[in-house]
């Protein structure tokens, strides 16, 4: 319990230890710690950034998917419309064609009818002349009475 030179020796030892610690021990340790801290912080912010990027990319992908779907839907719609239009068109055409054929047939029939009637009329006129000849017992000059015969035929 005596106070002696140990006191000074201890102070000197303390000073040397502190000096050594300040110079050689503290800086590398704290540097390493700070460097690691920075590394971790960088890593975390990179991870944050990456997840943000991922989110953006996902959003973009979803949007693109949506656009593609819309486009596809529009295309299909268009195609459908076009197809139905084509069907409609061809239906109309067919109908028109049919109508035309019918009309043509009608016209032909009419023509035939008119022709037949004319023929009939001419025959009737001839018959009438023959009848009249028989009745009058004398030949009617067909040429002299053709005007009257024609008028008769037209009246039939």
Instruction: Provide the mask over 2-41, with x wherever binding to other proteins is found by CB under 8 A and - wherever it is not.
Output: xxxxxxxxxx-xxxxxx-xxx-xxxxxxxxxx-xx-xx--
**Total residues contacting other proteins (rule CB under 8 A)?**
34
Contact 122, 133 (CB under 8 A): no
119 binding other proteins? (CB under 8 A): no
139 binding other proteins? (CB under 8 A): no
Question: Position of tokens 């021990």?
Answer: 25
Is the Cβ of residue 6 or residue 78 nearer to other proteins in the bound state? 6
Cβ at position 39, least distance to other proteins in Å: 6
42 binding other proteins? (CB under 8 A): no
Contact 129, 140 (CB under 8 A): yes
| Cα–chain center distance at 14 | 89
Contact 131, 124 (CB under 8 A): no
H or E segment at 72? helix 26-136
Is the Cβ of residue 31 or residue 110 nearer to other proteins in the bound state? 31
Spatial distance between the Cα atoms of 64 and 62, rounded to a whole number of angstroms: 5
56 binding other proteins? (CB under 8 A): no
Per CB under 8 A, residues contacting other proteins are: 1-11, 13-18, 20-22, 24-33, 35-36, 38-39
């Amino acid at each position: 319990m005596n106070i002696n030179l140990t006191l000074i020796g201890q102070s000197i030892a303390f000073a040397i230890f502190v000096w050594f610690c300040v110079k050689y021990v503290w800086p590398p340790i704290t540097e390493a710690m700070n460097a690691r801290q920075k590394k971790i912080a960088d890593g975390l912010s990179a991870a944050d950034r990456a997840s943000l990027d991922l989110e953006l990319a996902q959003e973009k992908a979803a949007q693109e998917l949506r656009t593609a779907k819309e486009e596809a839907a529009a295309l299909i719609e268009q195609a459908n419309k076009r197809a139905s239009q084509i069907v409609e068109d061809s239906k109309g055409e067919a109908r028109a064609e049919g109508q035309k054929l019918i009309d043509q047939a009608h016209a032909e029939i009419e023509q035939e009818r008119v022709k037949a009637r004319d023929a009939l009329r001419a025959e009737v006129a001839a018959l009438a002349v023959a009848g009249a000849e028989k009745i009058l017992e004398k030949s009617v000059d067909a040429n002299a009475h053709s005007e009257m015969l024609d008028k008769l035929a037209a009246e039939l």
